[in-house]
Structure 1
């Protein structure tokens, strides 16, 4: 199996739950901002194969999570296209400790994913703030929040 095939399968698995149209459906992890849809997901990095983690320089661990963001533009003809964007993700836990992810773009054909990592403790609840500025026409900056509790053992 080629690296490209493995990459596509892994990225598809990461976003398999998230690529369904929705307005602000927390279960599907999508949010709509005008003509843009933002898909988001988190998962422990030990879910990634060793090969993929090495290729993208991701530390595999049950105590590290991967944040995955994708930005799509929804055209009037119902077609969606990935758009480049500036993406920032920060999180704070219940004690107020602030964490930042160094988000980087991953290109796979016409798809663009923004990935970053956070360290987490067992039963830690993180409150995420995501800011997205599509680099498409004269788009605005959009922000949204979500929460997630992580089990590392």
Structure 2
């Protein structure tokens, strides 16, 4: 019985994180087209992730912690878009050029693939985020850069 309960809890956690990470990029509508790919991204305070979901995926929450979510879709010949794996790396820096390397965790749910990176910030801090995305290891990578201000919860 315990195994069935664990399976159900894992299934519900997976569904919850899918909804969270699909809703966040869609809400901000941040993506870039790169050849046959769409690179979706969004950065947000870690408090948006429920504690049990964060624990399930080994994500840290905190008043001064943020996450960046990156997903890559490949445009198919029939017009559909398929989530794919990619090589992802990046960094987050403040205006003083204090840089944190982003260690992205891959969340693969079959019908969705996300890469989650985390970094710390001070209240009311503008962060410069740089992400390198390489959907095809035989092709050049795409360098994505954006700035976003973060506030402590």
Equivalent residues in 2 for 1:94-113 (5 A)? 94-113=95-114
Distance 1:129 1:52 in 2: 26
2:18 pairs with 1:11: yes
Residue 85 (structure 1) aligns with:
86
TM, length-normalised to structure 2: 0.86
Distance 1:64 1:38 in 2: 23
Tell me how far 1:19 sits from its aligned partner: 4.2
Runs of 4+ in structure 1 off by over 4 angstroms are: none
Structure with greater Cα Rg: 2
Residue 42 (structure 2) aligns with:
41
Equivalent residues in 2 for 1:1-153 (5 A)? 2-19=9-26, 27-135=28-136, 138-153=138-153
- 121 and 11 in structure 1: CA distance in 2 versus 1, 3 angstrom threshold: farther
Residue 5 (structure 2) aligns with:
none
TM, length-normalised to structure 1: 0.86
Q: Which has the higher relative contact order, 1 or 2, with Cα contacts under 8 A spaced 6 or more apart?
A: 2
Tell me how far 1:119 sits from its aligned partner: 0.6
Aligned-pair Cα RMSD in Å: 1.8
Tell me how far 1:17 sits from its aligned partner: 4.4
| Secondary structure in structure 2 of the residue aligned to 1:78 | coil
Distance 1:19 1:35 in 2: 19
Q: Is the 8 A contact 2:73 2:82 kept in 1?
A: yes
Distance 2:152 2:18 in 1: 22
What are structure 1's unaligned runs of at least 5 residues? 21-26
**Number of corresponding residues:** 146
What are structure 2's unaligned runs of at least 5 residues? 1-7
